């Protein structure tokens, strides 16, 4: 069982300078923009099941998942911003989806109208179970937001049908999803319905995957099972390889199944593969998946910058996996990675305006790339495969639930972003306000405005892994307790007016990569607090490829120009290398003194087309 649970979305209202405005923009801009695109492209009308050969907008194998993520986002956002008109539109969409369900419970627009004869015949590539999973997640969110059961009941019927089709009993298919996701969705469905059959089905999909005889190889003649994490069972995997989003949804589902079942061997596999990802295969931004070929993990330490894929959905999936591991263990090392991904790799794919997106998130970009039609280098309003834009719809409303975890008698502050909270649990009810300018400042205060309940409870404050020096006080008295698993735990019978104050020192840090990461040899990255910084051509007069970070430089903090109020830029001394037209030459090019300016890397390309780089060559 999980030691903690994510805080409910409506219990915590973020008021910080980094995320709170973007959550509002998601509600006001990102969601409507995605609804329009789903309508324009036929993703909504596909559920009318009236498409015929020769008509435009043939329903695609993954369209159901795109619309489902938008539906989930609408429901989650309703919890933060109640809106009768939005709820009415949401219910109309839900009724449309329910109308597409077949008598046996099946619900998939592509295989109902385009190729019904091929239902369940191409699990490895056709996304049927993946789409089902996203519809289940949308149904759970709709139920939690509205209290209406119609969508959950619809998806329970679908899950019942899937449980009849798949399994180890005679007459059942021994298959599993090509694109993992339904596993974690089934665990959510089990939680809201109270029916363990659904988490048992999730366990079947996790445990059957990659077993011999291999279903994908023997039945579907699939030759690329490693890319699908289906070449061997999860407990035999030593390294995480293949498609990065599939892999991290797989591990998120496995963590859920391990928590539900108490399966220690499955949890050990999750831990082992977590370590392989974050210690050898994760970019400094929390990006994962280093190649566009198969959108995949490659070899340990292979982390190129200019060709990094680091798909937006993959960083989002890493946050989901980290959140599960954190809540199952209460260990801050998972929160450290979750924070890195949240503030850097996961949010970089969404523009500040809320309606343009990156699919891939390279750590280095040259202006010349724009001349060669590499659209991955420019945020786009939509993609043919629009998993990332639609994913942001549901990701943004959940951020506060990543920042806080709860148990019956403990509140865990994972990320000290300013917020107002009203958390009710078995033994306690606390209203509080957390103030501060995190992530731009390390000082913060949590003040209790109302407390009721029986006896003592705990507030646990995470000491970030990047923080070397910190102070903490309770009602003006210094707290010298050592962190346990990265958290300082304060236990008492809380009263109105109780005040916790902390100060995390937040110097600018110069970080180097393991020498096995060949792309970063002789380079450094600039970090402050949880933020990874980048040079952007908008702020620097010299071409970025000629800027060298001067070793030992002192840094200056200043307001970033053209970015949201409160955003901090970093400047310092640089050496500017002379340019040349020669392709090859002898000797060294001369260096001259100069300056550089860096901004939070997730905010690049919000002020026009630009070049960017995170890893900067150093010079004496």
What amino acid positions are annotated as catalytic residues? 295, 387
Secondary structure percentages of the chain, helix, strand, coil, to 5: 40, 20, 40
Tokens matching residue 202: 């999730």
CB 565 within 8 A of CB 592: no
Helix (H) or strand (E) holding 490: strand 487-492
Length in residues, the chain: 620
Helix (H) or strand (E) holding 435: strand 428-436
Alpha helices for 100-127 (secondary structure H): 109-113, 123-126
- DSSP class of residue 235 equals G
Q: What is the C-alpha separation between 514 and 615, in angstroms, rounded?
A: 13
Q: What is the C-alpha separation between 131 and 134, in angstroms, rounded?
A: 5
CA distances from 269 to 1, 212, 250, 254 (A): 16, 19, 12, 9
> Please, what's the b/e burial string for 129-145 (b: 16 or more CB within 10 A of its CB; e: otherwise)?
bbbbbbbbbbbbbbbbb
Radius of gyration of the chain (CA): 25
Nearest 5°: phi and psi at 32? -60, -35
Q: What is the C-alpha separation between 135 and 181, in angstroms, rounded?
A: 11
Which residue in the block uniquely carries the two structure tokens 């190889």? 217
Q: Which residues contact 516 (CB under 8 A, 6 or more apart)?
A: 300, 301
DSSP string, 185-223: HHHHHHHHH--HHHHHHHHHHHHHTTPSSPHHHHTS--S
Give the burial class of 593: count Cβ atoms within 10 A of its Cβ; 0-12 exposed, 13-18 middle, 19 or more buried. Answer: exposed
Q: Which residues pair with residue 533 across a beta bridge?
A: 600
Q: Are strands 12-14 and 531-536 parallel, antiparallel or unpaired?
A: unpaired
Q: What is the C-alpha separation between 451 and 424, in angstroms, rounded?
A: 10
Q: What is the C-alpha separation between 36 and 526, in angstroms, rounded?
A: 39
Q: What is the C-alpha separation between 87 and 110, in angstroms, rounded?
A: 27
Helix (H) or strand (E) holding 257: helix 244-261
Q: What is the C-alpha separation between 540 and 611, in angstroms, rounded?
A: 10
CB 312 within 8 A of CB 240: no
Instruction: Report the candidate in 276, 280, 257, 277 with the shortest Cα–Cα distance to residue 267.
Output: 257
Instruction: Report the candidate in 165, 154, 156, 159 with the shortest Cα–Cα distance to residue 119.
Output: 165
Helix (H) or strand (E) holding 501: strand 499-504
Q: How many Cα atoms are found within 13 Å in the side-chain-facing hemisphere of 397?
A: 29
Nearest 5°: phi and psi at 56? -70, 170
Which residue in the block uniquely carries the two structure tokens 């949010």? 347
């Amino acid at each position: 069982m999980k030691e903690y649970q994510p805080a409910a979305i409506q219990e915590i209202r973020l008021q910080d300078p980094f995320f709170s405005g973007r959550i509002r923009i998601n509600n006001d801009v990102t969601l409507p923009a995605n609804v329009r695109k789903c309508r324009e492209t036929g993703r909504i009308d596909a559920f009318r099941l009236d498409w015929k050969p020769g008509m435009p907008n043939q329903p695609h194998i993954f369209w159901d998942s795109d619309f489902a993520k938008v539906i989930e986002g609408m429901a989650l956002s309703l919890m933060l911003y109640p809106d009768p008109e939005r709820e009415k539109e949401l219910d109309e969409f839900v009724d449309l989806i329910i109308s597409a369900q077949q008598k046996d419970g099946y619900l998939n627009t592509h295989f109902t109208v385009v190729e019904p004869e091929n239902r369940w015949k191409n699990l490895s590539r056709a996304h049927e179970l993946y789409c089902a999973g996203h519809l289940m997640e949308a149904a759970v969110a709709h139920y939690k937001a509205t209290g209406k059961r119609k969508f959950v009941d619809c998806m329970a019927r679908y899950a019942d049908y899937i449980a009849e089709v798949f399994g180890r009993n005679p007459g059942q298919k021994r298959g599993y999803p090509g694109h993992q996701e339904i596993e974690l969705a089934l665990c959510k469905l089990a939680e809201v319905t109270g029916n363990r059959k659904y988490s048992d089905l999730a366990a079947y999909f996790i445990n059957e995957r990659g077993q011999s005889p291999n279903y994908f190889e023997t039945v579907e003649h699939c030759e690329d099972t490693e890319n699908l994490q289906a070449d061997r069972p999860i407990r035999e995997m030593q390294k995480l390889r293949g498609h990065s989003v599939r892999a991290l949804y797989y591990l998120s589902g496995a963590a859920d199944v391990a928590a539900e079942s108490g399966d220690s061997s499955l949890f050990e596999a999750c831990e082992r593969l977590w370590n392989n990802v974050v210690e050898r295969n994760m970019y400094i931004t929390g990006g994962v998946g280093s190649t566009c070929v198969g959108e995949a993990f490659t070899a340990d330490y292979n982390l190129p910058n200019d060709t990094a894929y680091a798909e937006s959905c993959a960083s989002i999936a890493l946050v989901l996996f980290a959140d599960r591991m954190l809540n199952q263990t209460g260990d801050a090392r998972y929160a450290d990675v979750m924070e890195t991904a949240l503030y850097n790799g996961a949010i970089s794919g969404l523009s500040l305006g809320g309606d343009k997106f990156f699919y891939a998130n390279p750590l280095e970009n040259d202006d010349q790339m724009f001349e060669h039609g590499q659209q991955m280098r420019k945020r786009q309003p939509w993609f043919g495969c629009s998993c990332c834009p639609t994913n942001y719809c549901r990701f943004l409303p959940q951020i506060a639930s990543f920042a806080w975890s709860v148990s019956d008698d403990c509140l865990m502050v994972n990320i000290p972003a300013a917020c107002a909270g009203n958390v009710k649990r078995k033994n306690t009810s606390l209203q509080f306000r957390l103030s501060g300018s995190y992530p731009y400042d390390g000082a913060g205060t949590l003040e209790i405005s109302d407390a009721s309940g029986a006896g003592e409870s705990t507030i646990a404050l995470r000491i970030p892994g990047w923080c070397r020096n910190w102070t903490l006080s309770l009602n003006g008295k210094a707290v010298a307790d050592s962190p346990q698993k990265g958290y300082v735990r304060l236990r008492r019978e809380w009263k109105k007016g109780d005040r916790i104050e902390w100060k995390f020192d937040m110097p600018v840090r110069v970080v180097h990569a393991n020498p096995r990461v060949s792309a970063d040899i002789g380079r450094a990255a600039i970090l402050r607090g949880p933020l990874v910084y980048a040079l952007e051509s908008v702020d620097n007069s010299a071409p970025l490829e000629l800027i060298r970070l001067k070793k030992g430089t002192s840094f200056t903090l200043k307001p970033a120009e053209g970015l949201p109020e409160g955003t901090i830029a970093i400047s310092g001394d640089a050496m500017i290398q002379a340019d040349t037209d020669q392709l090859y030459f002898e000797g060294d090019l001369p260096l001259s003194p100069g300056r550089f300016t860096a901004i939070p890397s997730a905010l690049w390309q919000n002020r026009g087309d630009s070049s960017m780089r995170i890893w900067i060559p150093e010079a004496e």
